[in-house]
């Protein structure tokens, strides 16, 4: 049982190559899981799967999914208005699946999975950017002097610029009122609205 075959070397080498190619794309985009991380995940998953088949114990390979889940969860973090790291976490999970396919000897399936994952990472960002130009959501925060209908006035500004505002938290402190909105609409409409608000002398603070 304590031996290594040429096929084992082929599996580990293929896992290193495919994992490295995906990692190179992540490294180029300066993501947290880059070249070395994806290589280690893909090779490690392949190695665990090979060991699992040698011992005829599927539990070893099955635990890869749980382990990768914990690793991916550590990459995801929440910012004030969004959640970051979901794509990188999903990439790690997918790279582990490629490694398991290689370790099981399903080379064609592994290469096909690599092609789909690679196309998703390389091609779809452009598609997503085009969609964002047509419709994107932004968070706006406005602080201004309190007057009657103050927030209604700014909602009217959003609508005049071709945007769809959803009012969220409102807070009044003394003579100031703070309003937050989630605003949807085309990128050009957002830019028009931002310029209009930046030129508003009544605004004390403005975040977007």
**91 and 37 within one domain:** yes
Domain presence at residue 78: yes
Q: Is the pTM of this model over 0.75?
A: no
Is pLDDT above 90 for 180? yes
**32 and 116 within one domain:** yes
Q: What is the pLDDT of residues 11-60, one digit of tens each?
A: 999 999 999 999 999 888 888 778 999 999 999 999 999 988 888 877 77
**117 and 55 within one domain:** yes
Is pLDDT above 90 for 73? no
Q: For the chain, what is the domain count? A: 2
- DSSP string for residues in 10-71: HHHHHHHHHHHHHHHHHHHTT-SS-HHHHHHHHHHHHHHHHHHHHHT-HHHHHHHHHHHHHH
pLDDT given for residue 33 in this prediction = 77
Residue 93 structural domain:
6-122
**143 and 117 within one domain:** no
**115 and 24 within one domain:** yes
Last residue within a domain, chosen from 61, 95, 122? 122
Output the domain CATH number for residue 142. Answer: 3.30.70.260
């Amino acid at each position: 049982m304590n031996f290594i075959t040429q096929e084992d070397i082929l599996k580990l080498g293929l896992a290193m190559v495919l994992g490295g190619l995906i990692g190179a794309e992540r490294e180029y985009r300066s993501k947290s899981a880059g070249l070395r991380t994806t290589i280690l995940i893909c090779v490690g998953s392949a190695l665990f799967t090979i060991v699992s088949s040698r011992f005829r114990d599927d539990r070893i390979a099955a635990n890869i999914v749980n382990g990768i889940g914990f690793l991916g969860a550590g990459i995801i973090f929440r910012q004030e208005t969004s959640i970051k790291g979901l794509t990188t976490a999903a990439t790690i999970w997918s790279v582990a699946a490629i490694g398991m396919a290689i370790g099981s000897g399903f080379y064609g399936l592994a290469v096909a999975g690599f092609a789909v994952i690679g196309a998703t990472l390389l091609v779809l960002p452009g598609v997503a950017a085009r969609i964002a130009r047509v419709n994107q959501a932004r968070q706006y925060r406005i602080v201004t002097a309190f007057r009657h209908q103050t927030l209604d006035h700014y909602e009217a500004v959003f609508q005049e610029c071709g945007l769809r505002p959803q009012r969220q938290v409102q807070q009044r402190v003394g003579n100031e009122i703070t309003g937050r909105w989630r605003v949807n609409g085309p990128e050009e409409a957002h830019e028009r609205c931002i310029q209009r608000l930046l030129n508003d002398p009544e605004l004390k603070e403005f975040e977007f």
